[in-house]
């Protein structure tokens, strides 16, 4: 899919329907900035927004995916195949962007906390029992907040929530390990 062609097509349809970007955004429950971004060719709508976008603009999903009016009443197999291919490409791009965002958040939090570790210098055991669980806890909270934001904006968020849950299990496992070690007398006990 060509982002510029898609954007021009959306802008033309919106103007034909006498809608502003704000009005279209309200119908789709997205921001007017998102509509502006699509029309300028800087991105695509989420795959879940394609059908409501087609309905709001009074065209078929196939016309949206092809970024052109289709005059024929019967859709050829080639046209349908091309539209499906475009849809799959769009899904791949959106998943890649989601993974990139998750990695940026986790990396930023981890980098900040790693600096704290370097300054303090508790050693490996101190890092494994104190800092690493704290890094995981803060990362999971950041990912949960990001996941809620994505869900609120009707974007795919399953991967974000799964990673947040995994990151949350690590500090819980450390606490359980320390509790069991103390309860079973395996940990050093002060005199």
More confident call, 66 vs 109: 109
The predicted pLDDT at position 48 comes to 81
Cα separations in angstroms, 162 against 116, 165, 167: 27, 5, 9
Write down the pTM of the prediction.
Answer: 0.44
pLDDT tens digit sequence for 117-143: 666 676 666 667 777 788 889 989 999
Is 65 within 8 Å of 83 (Cβ atoms)? yes
Task: Enter the DSSP assignment of 128.
Answer: I
Q: Which domains does the chain have, with CATH numbers?
A: 3-66 (1.10.260.40), 96-183 (no CATH)
Question: How much is the CA Rg of the chain, to the nearest whole Å?
Answer: 24
Is 16 within 8 Å of 2 (Cβ atoms)? no
Sign of CA dihedral 178, 181, 184, 188: negative
The predicted pLDDT at position 141 comes to 93
Sign of CA dihedral 126, 106, 152, 169: negative
pLDDT tens digit sequence for 138-185: 989 999 999 999 899 888 889 999 999 999 999 899 888 888 887 887
């Amino acid at each position: 899919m060509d982002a510029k062609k898609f954007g021009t097509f959306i802008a033309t349809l919106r103007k034909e329907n006498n809608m502003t970007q704000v009005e279209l955004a309200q119908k789709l429950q997205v921001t007017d900035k998102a509509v502006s971004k699509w029309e300028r060719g800087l991105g695509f709508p989420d795959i879940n927004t394609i059908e409501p976008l087609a309905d709001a603009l009074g065209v078929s999903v196939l016309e949206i995916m092809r970024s052109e009016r289709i005059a024929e009443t019967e859709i050829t197999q080639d046209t349908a195949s091309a539209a499906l291919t475009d849809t799959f490409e769009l899904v791949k791009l959106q998943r890649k962007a989601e993974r990139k965002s998750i990695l940026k958040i986790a990396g930023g939090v981890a980098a900040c906390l790693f600096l704290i570790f370097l300054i303090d210098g508790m050693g490996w055991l101190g890092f494994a029992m104190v800092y690493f669980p704290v890094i995981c806890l803060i990362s999971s909270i950041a990912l949960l907040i990001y996941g809620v934001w994505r869900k609120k904006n009707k974007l795919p968020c399953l991967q974000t929530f799964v990673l947040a849950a995994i990151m949350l299990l690590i500090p819980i496992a450390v606490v359980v390990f320390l509790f069991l070690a103390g309860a079973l007398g395996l940990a050093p006990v002060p005199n």
